[in-house]
Amino acid sequence: MRSQLMDKLDHFGDRPAVIHRGVTHSYRDLAGEIRRVEERLAADGVRPHDVVVLNADFSFRSIAALLALYRNRNIVVPVVAFTETTLATVTESCHPRHLLKPDGDDGRGGLTIEAMSGSADGAADAYRPLIEAGAAGLVLLSSGSTGAPKAILHNLDSLVEEKVGTGTRVGAKAPNILMFLLFDHIGGINSLLGVVKVGGTAVVPERRTPDEICSLVETYGIRLLPTSPTFLNLILIGGYHEKFDLGSLRLITYGTEPMPEELLRRVHTALPRIRLLQTFGTSETGISTTTSESSSSTYFKISDENVSYRIVDGELQLKSRTQFMGYLNYPSDSLTEDGWFRTGDLVEENADGYLKVRGRAKEIINVGGEKVLPLELESLLLGSPLIDDCVVYGRPNSITGQSVCVDIKASGPLSRAEARKHVHAFLDGKVEPFKIPTKVQVVEELSVSERFKKRRILP
Amino acid sequence: MSDRLLELIGNVVADINERRDEKIPTDDLLHVSLYGDSGVFDSMHLVNFLTLVEEAIEDEYDVEISLTSEKAVSRRISPFSGVGRLIEFIEEEMALAGAETGHGSAA
């Protein structure tokens, strides 16, 4: 597979592989850069199965570095931006030996490799199966809302085999994809491997703002935009789909958080000619191939030979060939005894076997024993012309356990009292009384994570 | 201060009465029981009511207090047994909040 990857890149030759900062790099350039990095790895004593932290976002050089580390059978820990907690997790749990910065310290210089302090000796038993199989590894850090991120170990050989494959089949017009999802996120890795599979072009954004993304779509005639519901809403609210020509887009995929039905309706109405597809995946099981019932439906099917699913007590459980090998710093209690991964997503299945995500199990609000799912209310509230976006969450109290709260980004001037009256009137008769938010706050901006998920205050 | 608080609570009750079939009597508000055997609210409506009072206090006095805390619930004499008791509790909490932010003299 290692040499087959290079054969593939050589085969694609002059096709554009990566467009970054206005410069187009061909597959031939990419192969050349990978070989150059490999020479550096050898010269700097980076041995197979060493753990290497790859500190970068998507760039021509970081993509080459990732593929070179794969070829060198390293265990790669991609980290876009270090925080105190991610640095602690990496040094304490991942046993790193090297820190590789493909774009130098200023993001524009050459590749640097430094020794990394951490408990490098007695490398975790977790890596042993990889070493025995002669495989490369990938460690993804979860974006947990609380506590230290989980360090999720994958067999990188399995991922590459599954997502890139061995063939050199290419469509007449290989797609170009905007690398919206992050380099250290399963969705970003999936996008990248998808590009390499078909000889497509990865267009790398400098900043992930709605105007930059829409401007890149216009400039490069992007056909595929993988994104998140929250980001799509930011595009709509700002009217960026009208300021830029998005006519080249054939497909927008959305994932990483549940899509409110009402928002999907807004997106479909604003961009009627673009196919909208829900993706589904987890850092632990990888991204599954999915089919949406239609562009205006939040029902989807997991149509992936690699993935089986089942629903237990309303929760979706997955088993995939590219399943993670374990956590480096947590017990594997998200796995059932028979090896299914508990996604924490509550789903319902319709008569035709399509699934719909109802929300996250841990986001359920418990009001005196009655259960409220934020997504249901958010979806309804987005139907109000006065509300641009909103987030629903539980607030603890000592009388009913929790009460329902909503933060609203209003489309125009709205006082707290007006917002509360409007929310109550708007939801009256649409939901059971216990679901009607007790507290309504008007906010300037909703808090959005670096992965463009809404931040929900959890109980 | 308690007259101001009584008026504030009266306004919240008037607001709630607008959307309520069985009106809460307002002629002797001080002695209206909020929760329990003769109370006008069930637990969920009590939380709604208290949240509105919290917000009104925040708007009026620019101080944030909690009326649904463990402290409120575990009082021997419940602040929810009557509006008068609730006002006493609010005054205590406001004094504490003032002391913490350095505006009041109560310790």
Task: Reduce the secondary structure of A114-145 to three states and give it as a string.
Answer: EECCCCCCCCCHHHHHHHHHCCCEEEEECCCC
Give the number of other Cβ atoms within 10 Å of residue A374's Cβ.
25
- Residue A280 pLDDT grade (very low, low, confident, very high; cuts 50, 70, 90): very high
Can you tell me the distance from the alpha carbon of A148 to that of A335, in angstroms, rounded to the nearest whole number? Answer: 19
Question: What secondary structure letter does DSSP report for A109?
Answer: S
* CB within 8 Å of A177: residues ≥ 6 apart: A191, A194, A195, A200, A201, A202, A203, A222, A223, A224, A225, A226
Can you tell me the distance from the alpha carbon of A311 to that of B46, in angstroms, rounded to the nearest whole number? Answer: 37
Does residue A87 fall inside a structural domain? yes
Q: Is the pLDDT of residue B102 over 70?
A: no
Task: Give A-chain residues touching B72 at CB under 8 angstroms.
Answer: 398
Which pLDDT score is estimated for B56? Answer: 93
Q: Is the pLDDT of residue A327 over 70?
A: yes
Q: Are the Cβ atoms of A399 and B69 closer than 8 angstroms? A: no
Which pLDDT score is estimated for A123? Answer: 55
Which pLDDT score is estimated for A454? Answer: 80
Please provide the DSSP assignment of A1-50 as one string. -HHHHHHHHHHHTTSEEEEETTEEEEHHHHHHHHHHHHHHHHHTT--TT-
Q: Which of A164, A181, A200 is the C-terminal boundary of a domain?
A: A164
Task: Give A-chain residues touching B43 at CB under 8 angstroms.
Answer: 368, 399-400
Q: Are the Cβ atoms of A397 and B19 closer than 8 angstroms? A: no
Could you tell me how many CB contacts below 8 A there are between chain A and chain B? 36
- Residue B103 pLDDT grade (very low, low, confident, very high; cuts 50, 70, 90): very low
Give me the domain span that covers residue A421: 364-442
Does residue A261 fall inside a structural domain? no
pLDDT digits (tens, 9 = 90+) for A360-407: 998 999 999 899 999 999 999 999 999 999 999 999 999 999 999 999
Q: What tokens appear for A201 in the block?
A: 């072009």
Which pLDDT score is estimated for A380? Answer: 95
CA distance B70 to chain A (A): 5
Cross-chain CB nearest to B44 (options A368, A398, A424)? A368
- Percent of chain A clearing pLDDT 90 (strictly above): 80
Which pLDDT score is estimated for A145? Answer: 60
Which pLDDT score is estimated for A118? Answer: 65
Please provide the DSSP assignment of A176-212 as one string. EEE--S-TTSHHHHHHHHHHHHHT-EEEEPSS--HHH
Can you tell me the distance from the alpha carbon of A168 to that of A243, in angstroms, rounded to the nearest whole number? Answer: 38
Which pLDDT score is estimated for B37? Answer: 82
Which pLDDT score is estimated for A3? Answer: 87
- Residue A172 pLDDT grade (very low, low, confident, very high; cuts 50, 70, 90): low
Pick from A256, A197, A251: nearest CA to A224:
A251
Q: Are the Cβ atoms of B55 and A439 closer than 8 angstroms? A: yes
Q: Which residues 439-458 of A are in CB contact (within 8 Å) with B?
A: 439
Q: Give the residue, A131 or A457, on which the prediction is more confident.
A: A131
Which pLDDT score is estimated for A170? Answer: 60
B34 shares contact with chain A (CB less than 8 Å): no
Is A447 in a helix, a strand, or coil?
coil
| CA distance between the termini of chain A | 46
Does residue A16 fall inside a structural domain? yes
Mean of all residue pLDDT scores within chain A: 91
B81 shares contact with chain A (CB less than 8 Å): no
pLDDT digits (tens, 9 = 90+) for A85-105: 899 999 989 999 999 999 876
- Residue A456 pLDDT grade (very low, low, confident, very high; cuts 50, 70, 90): confident
Q: Is the pLDDT of residue A106 over 80?
A: no
Give the number of domains in chain A.
2
Q: Are the Cβ atoms of A398 and B73 closer than 8 angstroms? A: yes
Can you tell me the distance from the alpha carbon of A399 to that of B54, in angstroms, rounded to the nearest whole number? Answer: 15
Does residue A212 fall inside a structural domain? no
Check: CB of residue A381 under 8 Å from CB of residue A423.
yes
Can you tell me the distance from the alpha carbon of A177 to that of A221, in angstroms, rounded to the nearest whole number? Answer: 10
Q: Which of A112, A140, A164 is the C-terminal boundary of a domain?
A: A164
CATH number at residue A96: 3.40.50.980
Does residue A269 fall inside a structural domain? no
Q: Are the Cβ atoms of B48 and A438 closer than 8 angstroms? A: yes
* CB within 8 Å of A320: residues ≥ 6 apart: A285, A286, A288, A304, A306, A307, A308, A341
Can you tell me the distance from the alpha carbon of A252 to that of A265, in angstroms, rounded to the nearest whole number? Answer: 14
Q: What tokens appear for A99 in the block?
A: 């820190």
Check: CB of residue A440 under 8 Å from CB of residue A420.
yes
Task: Give B-chain residues touching A438 at CB under 8 angstroms.
Answer: 47-48, 51
Can you tell me the distance from the alpha carbon of A456 to that of A439, in angstroms, rounded to the nearest whole number? Answer: 15
* Domain spans, chain B: 2-101
Check: CB of residue A359 under 8 Å from CB of residue A258.
yes
Which pLDDT score is estimated for A124? Answer: 66
Task: Give A-chain residues touching B70 at CB under 8 angstroms.
Answer: 398
B60 shares contact with chain A (CB less than 8 Å): no
Tell me the mean pLDDT in the region B45-61: 93
| CATH architecture for residues B2-101 | Orthogonal Bundle (1.10)
- Residue A445 pLDDT grade (very low, low, confident, very high; cuts 50, 70, 90): confident
| Lowest-pLDDT choice from A112-121, A212-221, A282-291 | A112-121
CATH number at residue A416: 3.30.300.30
Does residue A420 fall inside a structural domain? yes
B19 shares contact with chain A (CB less than 8 Å): yes
Mean of all residue pLDDT scores within chain B: 87
Tell me the mean pLDDT in the region A331-338: 90
Supply the ipTM of this predicted assembly.
Answer: 0.86
A399 shares contact with chain B (CB less than 8 Å): yes
Can you tell me the distance from the alpha carbon of A68 to that of A40, in angstroms, rounded to the nearest whole number? Answer: 10
Is A278 in a helix, a strand, or coil?
strand
Which pLDDT score is estimated for A310? Answer: 96
Does residue A279 fall inside a structural domain? no
- Residue A450 pLDDT grade (very low, low, confident, very high; cuts 50, 70, 90): confident
